[in-house]
Amino acid sequence: MTVISFSRRALLALAAGSAMVAGAPVFAADDTAALPPDQLMSKVASDMLNALDQRRAEVRRDPKLAYPLVDQILLPHFDTQYAAQLILAQNWRTASEDQRKRFVAALYDALLKTYAGAIADFTSDRLKILPLKLEAGATQTIVRTEVRRDSGTIVPVDYRMHKTDGGWKVYDVIIEGISYVRNYREDFGAEVAQKGLDEVIARLEREGLHADRAAKSTGG
């Protein structure tokens, strides 16, 4: 399947985008729900970079120690349930409540694990958030960024965001025109058609973080 290879590539850039902005404006934690999407991205980036700088050597030795950082700083601003609905498409409508909960939890674990393995070497000079023009009353937008790879190549990384009761949240990442939600939807759709939703969820759970959960408490 292409899910794993693409998700690592996509989330590598998402982690980079969320971990590499220096000089972002400082806001109180309670203000995040009111932030416009580009300022929210800057704040999350600054928070993650500051937290990572305090533990960078440890995280390089053991990426599991990044779990609590990702869990507490990055993923609260990612709408995992909405992404799961888009990924499963018609299979979401026919899924039971238990299947939905298990799929969302497994997807969250996949995001957490991939982020944690990607952020250790990122620094403040690798991301540029492009100017955003947000129309009054807008509930959907795209925050466009540019990520610099080790080679110096600049890669466009766009974040689809929507406004929720808890503020703006990311639900899709588009790298060089390729949407991770669409990629997941195509691959999972084919796998569900072949094996059934329960088997797909069980596979994701087996590949998830159940054996690594202790690191979230010991790491922070």
Query: Mean pLDDT in each 10-residue stretch from start to end of the chain (220 residues)?
Result: 39 42 37 87 84 86 86 90 96 97 92 76 74 92 86 87 95 88 91 96 81 43
pLDDT value of position 122: 64
Q: How many residues does the chain have?
A: 220
d(CA 144, CA 31): 22
The one-letter amino acid at 118: A
pLDDT value of position 121: 64
CB 214 within 8 A of CB 67: no
pLDDT value of position 82: 96
Query: In this structure, what are the phi and psi dihedrals at residue 117, rounded to the nearest 5 degrees?
Result: -80, -5
| Residue 82 vs residues 100, 148, 159: alpha-carbon distances, Å | 11, 29, 14
Pick 3-218's CATH classification: 3.30.70.240, 3.20.20.480, 3.10.450.710, 3.40.50.150: 3.10.450.710
pLDDT value of position 124: 67
Query: In this structure, what are the phi and psi dihedrals at residue 182, rounded to the nearest 5 degrees?
Result: -65, -40
Look at residues 50, 70, 71, 40 and name the one whose alpha carbon lies nearest to residue 166: 40
Question: Domain extents for the chain?
Answer: 3-218
pLDDT value of position 127: 76
| Residue 6 structure tokens | 């693409």
pLDDT value of position 16: 43
Q: How many CA atoms lie within 13 A of 196 on its CB side?
A: 5
Residues 6+ apart with CB under 8 A from 13: 147, 155, 157, 173, 175
Q: Are strands 127-129 and 154-164 parallel, antiparallel or unpaired?
A: unpaired
3-class DSSP assignment, residue 214: helix
pLDDT value of position 80: 94
What ranges in the chain are assigned the alpha helix state H? Answer: 3-19, 37-61, 67-69, 80-88, 90-94, 97-116, 180-195, 197-206, 214-218
